[in-house]
Structure 1
Amino acid sequence: MNMLIRSRRAGRLWGPLAASCAALIFAASFSAGAAAQTVRPETVASGLEHPWAVAFLPGNRFLVTERPGRMRIVNAQGRLGEPLQGVPRVAAGGQGGLLDLVLDSAFASNRTLYFCFSEPGSGGNSTALARARLAADDTRLEDVRVIFSGKPKVASSMHFGCRIVEARDGTLFLTTGERNSRKEDAQTLDNHHGKVIHIQKDGTPARDNPFLDRAGALPEIWSYGHRNAQGATLSPDGVFWMNEHGPQGGDEINVPQAGRNYGWPVITFGENYGGGRIGEGISERAGMEQPLHQWTPSMAPSGMAFLTSERYGAGWRGNLFVGALKFRYLSRLEIANGKVVREHKLLQDVGRVRDVRQGPDGLLYLLTDEGNGKLVRVVPQ
C-alpha cells in the first residue's frame, strides 16, 4: 500500500470523503495481503528481556542484545546462555540501553562485532558505537573500544536511533535520534542529534562525507533532519535505506543521500501527540526531501530487512520487511522502481517487532521487544 494522503491540504479539502476512500483502499490492500499470507511464526527462544538486535553466529547460534545491558548467545535449540562479560555500562531506562548489534563482514576470521548503546557521561547520555572482539570461548567481549560517541550528551531517556549498517565498502552507517527534547538540533550540523553518521571502522569520518570541509559542521554527518530512526538496512543493490518514527503519524522510509536534509521538525506528515500541528504544520518545503513512503496513522517502525532468498517463493524476493512496534505485525512491502507499491500485513499480533533480519538459511527472524521477549523464525507454510 503506497502513501494514501500526501499533504495536509488534501486532507482538509476532502475531509470525510478522502478518509472513506483511504479506508476502502486500505481494506482492499489488507485483504489481498491477508489472503496471500503463507507464513507462520515459530518461537526459537523466549525469556529475553526487551531484546533489541540479533546477529547470526556459526553453528546455527544467535547473538542477541537485551536493552537492560546484556548480550548473550542463544544456541540452536533456543537455550539462553549466560550474559557475556565485558559489555560496557549503559544508560538503561526509557528507550535507552544496549541496542543494535552487527557482525563484521569478516567475522569468520576476525571475530569482530559492532554494537551501539546509550552511553552515560557528563551531562547525561548519548548514542555511542563500540567495536569489540568475541572471545574464542564465547564468554566475553575483548578489546572493547568506543569508536563514536554522540555530541552533546543530554539528560534524556528517549530517541537514540541506534541502527548500524556496514556498507559494501566496509564503512559504517549509524542512525541517531534527536533526543525528543532537542528536536531543533536535527536541523543544525554542530551536533549529532537526528543524523545519519558515516564513519570508517576506526571511528574516523568516511572519506566521502559531505561536510568534511564545512566550518562548524561535524565531519561524521552524512544526512540530517531525521527524528528517530530505529530500522536500517542495505538494499540488494547495496544502497542504505532506513525508517524512522514520526510523531503522531508520519512514520517514514527514507533512502538518505549525502548532505541532504530530511526535514524534521520543519516538515512532517504527523502532528503532536494528542493533536495540534508541529511548527507551521507543513509537509513540504524547498530544499527538504520527501519520504519514499510514509505511514499515517503511525505503525511505529523498527527493524527492517530486504529479502534476497527465495525461501518464501520468487514473488517475495526483493520485498522489504519492516517490524511494527505499535500494531504488532510484520509488514511486507513490495518495491517497484524504487517505490513502495503495496503493503501486506503478516503475523498479526506476533508481538512488538523490534528487529527483522534474514538468516544464513534464507529465512526471516524477528525479535519481540517485551518483558518476555522472543526470537521468532518466520516459517513458510
Structure 2
Amino acid sequence: MRPVLVATVLALLVPLAPAAPAVAAPAEGAVAAAPAKKGVPRLKVRPVVRHLDHPWDVRSLPGGGLIFTQRDRAELSVFVGGKVHRVKFPRKQVWVSGETGLMGLEVDPDFRSNRRIYTCQGGNTDGGGHDVNVKAWTLDKRLRKAKLDRELVGGFPTSSGRHGGCRLLVTSDGSLLVGTGDAAQGTNPEDLDSLGGKTLRLDRFTGAPWPGNPFAGAQGPRRYVHTYGHRNVQGVTERADGTLWSIEQGTTRDDEVNLLQNGGDYGYDPVPGYNETVPMTDQGLPGDQIEAKWSSGDPTVATSGGTFVNGTKWRALDGALAVACLKASRVLFLTFDAAGTLQRVRQPRALKQWGRIRTAVQASNGDLLVTTDNGGGNDVILRVRPRG
C-alpha cells in the first residue's frame, strides 16, 4: 500500500481491543467534522434456520421464502412456511474439496416470471479434472426441483479446492457479475487468459461476455474479464449509485474492499511460486494498480460476503457496506462517502456472538440475512432487523 494511503487510513482508524483479532477502526474524533446525523439502531438478531453446515449463500424469494446453499453438503434448499426442504438438484455432480463446493447463489430479478436462479460450484471435467463454473437453473412452481438451463461460464482454475471463490450478483444493468478465486496458484491473478482471481461480467441468459468488458472483442477467457489482479473474491455487491464493489480475502497482512473499475488491475502477483508475503496491491508491477478502499491491515479478519445496506430504518447505517468476517467473527459496517473514501467503521455487538460469519445479504423487506460458518451442523441463518 502506498505510504500516503497508509498514513490516511491510520489517521482514521485505531485497532480493536486485544481480546479479538484487530480490525481497522476510526480514531476517536477523526471524523468529527462530519458527525452522524442519525443514531445507530439497536439490532434484533434471530436465528430463522438452524442445523446447517457451512451455509454459503442465501437469497430472498418472492412471497417471503429463502433459498440457500450449503457448500460441503452440496445442497440447495428452500425455507418457506417455517420449514426447510431440499430442492432436487444434481448434488453428486458438484465437486467438493476444501474451500470449494456449492457456493455462490443468485435469484433472477424477474424470478416471478422466469423462475431462474444461478449457482457457482465446483465441477468435474472430462479426463478426471475439476473446475469451478456458473450454471443457470429453472425452479418448478413448488420450489421442489431445479432443472438445468445451461452452464453459463466454466473453466475457473482449481487445485486442492483452496481459493475457489465464488460470488454472484445480477447488477442493475442486467449483467451477471462473478467473483472468482485464484486457486492458490501464483500466476492466475495477473494472467488475463485465466479466469482465476478476477471479476467477470456476462449475459445472464446466454453466457456471452458482457459487451462493455474491456476485452470483449478478444478471443479466449479474457473476453469475460471485468477486473483482474485479485486473490480470492468472496463478495460482490452494488451500491445505490450503481458502482460495483468486491470484498477480497487476503493473506496474513491485508483483507480488502475494492471499488471496481472496468479493466482495472488490483495488483496481486504472488510469484514466483505462491509467495503470500507480497502486498495485496503490488505497486511495483507494470502499469497502474488500484488501491483498496479499505484494508484490514495485520492481522486480518478473513472477510467474506457482504452487501450495501439501504433503507431509512437503518438510520446511521443506511448506505453502509456490511462485511461478514470469518476469523474475526463479526460483521463490519463500513461507511464510505460519495467518492468512495472510508468515513467510519462500526461493529455491532449483537453480531459478535455467533462465531464465524460467511455472508451478509439484504432481504427483500430490508432486513439483513447473515449466515454463520462454524461447521458441524451447528450453523444458522440469522435475520437482523433494526429497531429504533
- TM-score normalized by structure 2? 0.84
- TM-score normalized by structure 1? 0.85
% same residue: 28
Q: Structure 1 regions of 5+ residues with no counterpart?
A: 12-17
User: How far does residue 27 in structure 1 lie from its aligned partner after superposition?
Assistant: 7.7
2:112 aligns with one of 81, 102, 108: 108
User: How far does residue 263 in structure 1 lie from its aligned partner after superposition?
Assistant: 0.2
User: How far does residue 360 in structure 1 lie from its aligned partner after superposition?
Assistant: 1.5
- Superposed CA deviations along residues 102-156 of structure 1, whole A, max 9, x for unmatched, are 11110011101111111122463222100000111211101342111024x4432
Detail structure 1 runs of 4+ shifted over 6 Å in the superposition. 8-11
- In structure 1, the residue matched to 2:278 is 278
Matched, 1:47 2:48: no
- In structure 1, the residue matched to 2:66 is 62
The CA distance in 2 between the partners of 1:226 and 1:334, in whole Å, is 23
CA contact (8 A) 1:29 1:344 kept: no
1:213-362 superposed matches below 5 A: 213-214=217-218, 218-265=222-269, 277-278=277-278, 286-296=287-297, 297-313=299-315, 315-337=316-338, 338-346=340-348, 347-362=351-366
AA in 2 matched with 1:45: V
User: How far does residue 96 in structure 1 lie from its aligned partner after superposition?
Assistant: 0.7
CA contact (8 A) 2:186 2:275 kept: no
Residue 331 of structure 2 aligns to a residue in which SS? strand
1:148 aligns with one of 130, 149, 153: 153
The CA distance in 1 between the partners of 2:301 and 2:177, in whole Å, is 24
- Superposed CA deviations along residues 32-59 of structure 1, whole A, max 9, x for unmatched, are 99x9562132111111111001111133
What is the root-mean-square deviation of aligned Cα atoms in Å? 3.0
CA contact (8 A) 1:8 1:282 kept: no
Q: Structure 2 regions of 5+ residues with no counterpart?
A: 17-23, 30-34
The CA distance in 2 between the partners of 1:176 and 1:9, in whole Å, is 26
CA contact (8 A) 1:186 1:195 kept: yes
2:368 aligns with one of 349, 364, 369: 364
CA contact (8 A) 2:57 2:105 kept: yes
Residue 80 of structure 1 aligns to a residue in which SS? strand
AA in 2 matched with 1:340: L
Cα 1:38–1:283 change in 2 (3 A) is farther
Residue 150 of structure 2 aligns to a residue in which SS? strand
Cα 1:272–1:344 change in 2 (3 A) is farther
Residue 333 of structure 1 aligns to a residue in which SS? strand
CA contact (8 A) 1:86 1:144 kept: no
- In structure 1, the residue matched to 2:182 is 178
AA in 2 matched with 1:141: A
AA in 1 matched with 2:300: S
The CA distance in 1 between the partners of 2:102 and 2:279, in whole Å, is 33
